[in-house]
Amino acid sequence: MNRERKCLLLEPKKTQTKAFSNMIVSILLLVFEVWAWIQSNSIKTAKNAAVQPSTFPRIMILGMGIFTVILLVQSVIKLAGMKADDPLAAKAESLNFIKNKGVLAALFVIALCALYVYQFKNLGYVVVSFLLCAIIMWLIGLRKPVKLILISLLVPLGMWLVFYKFLTVNIPMGILQPLRDLVDMI
């Protein structure tokens, strides 16, 4: 047990443990909290107010800061005296998209979603959803073109019909605007 512990302390892979990732996350959170505190300085004051508009957000930032410091201290202590059977000695999740194809795929999906938001009004819900659905299905292994196209087309179309006709939610149709006119006529 002692030998195992000694080895782990000398192990360069300590940077891959959950304790180390907790430490890095706490430092990043502290940076965010300092930034949020600075931003709170720009909140205008109110006259004759018992509680200023910036008070509540600052209490929250302070609360977040206190527990971030606690997390940081906990992680440093764990790293210094790490035991092999400690749950925080387990390997942490990685964000390295060069080594990890899963992370790369996740980032690709996020980028697709960002494009989806950007083109939502121009192309319309059905078209952007068709593209998003089809690309992700292809990405995660659906190689049957007919099934892929049918699902990607029918689901957004069905959802649009439900929301538009029954729930009276007006959804942008973009280039498929004539379809809405057709449904309105029916």
Q: Residue 113 interacts with another protein (CB under 8 A)?
A: yes
Task: Compare residues 70 and 175 and give the one whose CB is closer to another protein.
Answer: 70
When asked if residue 176 is in the footprint of another protein (CB under 8 A), the reply is no
CB 149 within 8 A of CB 134: yes
Which of positions 5-34 make contact with another protein (CB under 8 A)? 18, 21-22, 25, 29
Tell the smallest beta-carbon distance from residue 182 to another protein (Å): 20
Cβ distance to another protein smaller for residue 43 or 182: 43
Tokens of residue 21, six digits: 């990732």
Smallest separation (angstroms) from another protein to the CB of 172: 8
> In the structure encoding, which two tokens stand for residue 69, read together?
């410091």
Give the nearest distance from C-beta 137 to another protein in angstroms.
5
- The answer to whether the Cα torsion of 62, 64, 66, 72 is positive or negative is negative
Tell me the two tokens of residue 33: 């909290």
User: Does 51 engage in binding with another protein (CB under 8 A)?
Assistant: yes
Among 76, 136, 149, 153, binds another protein (CB under 8 A): 136
Residues 148-167 that bind another protein (CB under 8 A): 151-152, 155-156, 159-160, 162-163, 167
DSSP state of 91: B
Cβ-based nearer residue to another protein, 50 or 186: 50
CA geometry: angle at 168 spanning 162 and 174, to 5°? 80
Q: CA quadruple 105, 111, 112, 113: dihedral positive or negative?
A: positive
The Cα 54–Cα 71 span in angstroms is 26
Q: Is position 61 an interface residue for another protein (rule: CB under 8 A)?
A: yes
Closest CA to 117 of 172, 159, 181, 160: 172
Instruction: Candidates 153, 171, 174, 179: give the one binding another protein (CB under 8 A).
Output: 171
Q: Does residue 114 belong to the site contacting another protein (CB under 8 A)?
A: yes
